Homo-oligomer: A and B are copies of this chain.
């Protein structure tokens, strides 16, 4: 149950319409919590019904008409409650690792190219994060809020760094006698 809270956070940062939220879930917040526009509209409907957010007045209610939302006190309270609540990390779930394990049983045909492809994707993502860091967090003393956002961004950077290193090493080691299994 995190999507509603992701939306509340995004709306507190800036009141938005469904489509604007969708765009922001393609970057920024979306870097660590993605969502499609269908999910977002469904959730906006729920949050409005429950009184956590409201459509800004002067926004027509018809279809095809832009509709901006803002967070109500109840919504902010719920977000604060959820943020402070203990939550265990979710167990890892990764298809690439699963496929390597499967490859040990049915053969590693074509796995090398797939590893190289993933390495390339992770390198691009890493470059994107580093670009954001240069742009948004120049080396100065940050305010507390910025420091929190910076720490989050660095998780992304460190994670992509981990993947590129691990993939590089995996490609080397599996390449030695590579090919089939």
Contacts and interface: CB of A to CB of B under 8 A. Distances in A.
Interface of A: 2, 5-6, 8-9, 12-13, 29-34, 76, 79-80, 82-84, 86-111, 114, 117-118, 121-122, 144-149, 151-152, 154-156, 158-159, 161-163, 165-166, 169-170, 173-174, 177, 181
A159 B156 contact: no
A148 B175 CA distance: 11
30 contacts: A2-B95, A5-B99, A5-B102, A9-B98, A12-B106, A32-B98, A34-B91, A80-B109, A86-B114, A86-B117, A87-B95, A87-B96, A88-B121, A89-B96, A89-B122, A89-B163, A90-B94, A92-B156, A92-B159, A97-B152, A100-B151, A104-B149, A148-B174, A151-B169, A151-B170, A151-B173, A154-B166, A154-B170, A158-B166, A162-B162
A108 B32 contact: no
Given A92-B32, A104-B145, A159-B92, A84 B98 contact: no
